[in-house]
Structures are given as C-alpha cells and as structure tokens.
Amino acid sequence: MGAQPALLPLGWGVAGWGQSHFCGGAGANRRAKGAGGAQLVPERVKSIFGVLLVGYGGTPALLGGWGRRFPSEDEEEEEEEEGIPFMAEEGSGHWRLLCKPSALAQHLVRSLGRSAALRGGRWLWPCWPRLQMLWQLLQPPEPEPVVARELLQLSDAGLVALDWLVGPWGAAGGGGGVSSPVLLLIPNAAGKVTGGLLQLGLRALERGFIPVIFNRRGHNGCPLTTPRLQPFGDPGDLREAVTYLRCRHPCASLLAVSEGSGSGLLLAYLGESGSSSRLAAAACLSPIFRGRDWFEARMPWLYEWPLLLHLKQGLSRYAGALAEVVDTDRLLGSRSLRELEETLFCRTRSRPTSWESYWEHNEPLRDADEAAVPVLCLCSADDPVRGPPARSLPRELFRSSPYFFLLLTPHGGHCGFPRRGPGRCWAHEAVLEYFRAMAEFLRTEERRKGLPRPRRWGGPPVEPPVFTWQRSYTR
C-alpha cells in the first residue's frame, strides 16, 4: 500500500540565505548601460493598467465586477474544507502545503516552518484579487534594476535574449562566484516582464544569486530572425538556453522561476527533460496548469487585453516576415489570446494543424510524470486569471508525485501575494527560502554519499557530474 498524501502544517521562525552580492566574473567587462544594457522598468509600467487604475480612481469597490474568473462561495467553502489550514494571520489568511510524504518534503516543511518567509503581513484588501494583481503589475521595483543583454543564437539561427540583472549599482552582469547559483526568470507567455518579476530578481541578487531573464523569440525587444515563434509549451529554445547557462557556469546550481502563463513553458521543459533537465530546483508563481482550458475560458479583460495589445505591438514589427507563414491581417485583428494563438500556430500556410492537435503537443503537464526535479507551485484560491481551484488545480499530481509541491493560500490574486513592508510580495521570500532549503538538502546528501566537490585551490578542479535528483531523496 502506497504512502498517503500529506497536508503538512508549518510553524514560525527566522532563517535566511545571506546578504552577499555578486560582482566581477566573466561579464565584468560589460557595463550595464554601455554594452547592451537597458533599464526595464519605465517601459514595463507604461501600460494600459495605469490608465485603467487612474480612470477608475483605484476604487476597490469597482474592481469586484472585473472579469468572470472568480470562485463562488460554494467553491471556496469546498476548498477550505479539504485539508487542515495553518498559519492563520489577520488580513492574510492561511496556507496549506499539499505534497506526497518524503524525506525531501519533511525537510521543506522544517525549513519553511523555521522561516519568516510566509509571514505575509496584513494586506488592507485581502478579498480583492484583482487589486492585488494590479498592485504587483503597477508598482515598479525599488531600486530600479539595470540589465546587460546577451543574444543567444539557436540551432535554427533563431535568437533568444538573456537579460542579466545587475541591480542599480552598475556592476557587470553574468558574474558571481564559482558557487553562486544562477536563477533563470521566465516571464509570462506574452513575454511581458512585470515589476513583480524584476523585484524577485533584485531580491535574489541581494541574496547572492545570479538572476537572468529568459526572453523568447521576438519578445521584449529580442530580434525575430526566423519566421517562427515559440509555441506555448514547446521547450526547445529553453533547453538550448539552459545548456548554454550550464556551459557558462559549470559549477553553479541552476534554478528556475516562472510567472503566470510562463509556467507552461517551464513545466513542459521539466516533464520532457526528466532527469536531464540540468536544473537543481524550480518554482512557479501562479502557474497555468491546463493550457487549453485556460485559453478557451473567458479570462478577465483586465488581464487579457493588455497582454493582447502587448503581443500585437511586438508582432507588428515583423508583419512582413510573418506574412509568409500566417495571415497577418487575421493575426493583428485577433480579439482574444485564443484567437491569436490559434492564428499564429494552427492556421499556418505551410503546416496547418487543428486546435486539438496543437494542445496534444503543448499542454504543460503532458509529461509531468517524467519530471525529476522538485517544483514548488505557489497558488492562490482566488486567482482570477487561473480560475477556480476545483477546475484549475491538478491536486492528484501533488498527491502522487514526489517532486511537486503545492503551497496554496486563500488570498493572493494572480502573481500578487502582497504584503506590507520591504519586498511587497511574500511569495518572493518563500521561493528564495525554498531554494535555500533545496541547496541545504543537497549539501547534506552529498556529504552523506561522498560526492566529489570542486577544489578551492591547488591542482585542477574536479569536473562536476551532471546533476540528477536521486529517487531515494523523494521516498
């Protein structure tokens, strides 16, 4: 008889990663503004969201009617009755961790229990998920980050962009010590780098990580050199980027965080790559687990229309080149994200395919059983973009797989998870604490099993083995 799924309670405490900054290294000769550097925030926050918030005066009462994806009271009661709530706090609710019992799960519970990462602080409007979403989208990170861009040519001559966050201090990107972990940040499927994602990158930078943003073909100013974009769940380009990062930082741990719909790409990569993913751990903020259902459901216009306009603006730059493969008039005239996705990838001139066939190859969880890397998914029950938990959360996956962990809170919106005070988002602290816990667990296992470690001085360094998680860790 197999182990029963556990709904594990956590406690309070304090823990941290450290406050070391990275500097120098391979990218030290590239200054942030002088060689491809760019300041992201001003372009990110100038969007329709600002107009909407000003137009409505930011009144919380008006936010309640925006969109249709809001769980009913019956659904909320049903979700709250399943499992035992823990860590109740005024204004922020409680959290639940759903996972399969294992040694790794026990270590994660102890680490989060000792940490202050989940101490969300009181949020003035906990029952307004759309306001929480706006808060994260509109608020620029503090201080303003600077990036150094690197273009990576792929096997088919396409390009993706890697933006190394260097902070406001003017240090060069891509540096760091030998053991500094590299944190790969994956934006949403529209390629929009939100203020929340940048804030997470800055927090990671302060903790000694090397954060880098992955930009898909044609997204966020990355040149489109081939008439092909990346489908929703096609991890081919991400795989080449991870391989490059491993070659550039052979002794560093590779970690990945995705935001919103960008989690479809990360989850697909983990499932398709299995134990060869080269990642030590991954996390997803407000992930979209079921891509087809998400596109077919009517999502809040407050979320859909700005992303749709953002995508059209980027695609219009390459309308001439894309005209060879798709109907650009139909593409730029799309009135929904589904219509744009279907026109771009299903109604092609050379290889048309059906909507059903497209999702057979692009569903994020199509190979989830093959995933062999710990994945923490932070979700909110009132997420207006993902939809009601009863329909949008694959709970059976978290009950059966030893690698998937669900941290669920009743209030947090979509990629919001707000709190007062420094950082503004408790999910960012939870993700960084999770990575710290995974690194601690691996160090313990390496010492116990006597795996080779890189030498610090004298003689040639020991070549680190290709990292793979051991099944015994999750038993």
How buried is residue 459: exposed, middle or buried, by Cβ count under 10 Å (0-12/13-18/19+)?
exposed
Distance between CA atoms of residues 399 and 397, nearest Å: 5
In Å, how far are 56, 63, 69, 292, 418 from 66, measured between CA atoms? 12, 6, 9, 22, 19
Catalytic residue selected from 219, 383, 411, 428: 383
Non-local (6+) Cβ contacts of 159 within 8 A are: 151, 152, 153, 217, 222, 223, 224, 225
Q: Is 383 a catalytic residue?
A: yes
Return the DSSP state at 270: H
Nearest alpha carbon to residue 148 among 236, 271, 329, 27:
27
How buried is residue 15: exposed, middle or buried, by Cβ count under 10 Å (0-12/13-18/19+)?
middle
Catalytic residue selected from 219, 249, 411, 414: 414
Is the preceding omega at residue 71 within 30 degrees of 0, hence cis? no
Distance between CA atoms of residues 449 and 437, nearest Å: 18
Distance between CA atoms of residues 379 and 368, nearest Å: 18
- Token pair belonging to 317: 């730059």
Nearest alpha carbon to residue 266 among 299, 230, 226, 218:
230
Q: Point out the residues that are catalytic.
A: 383, 414
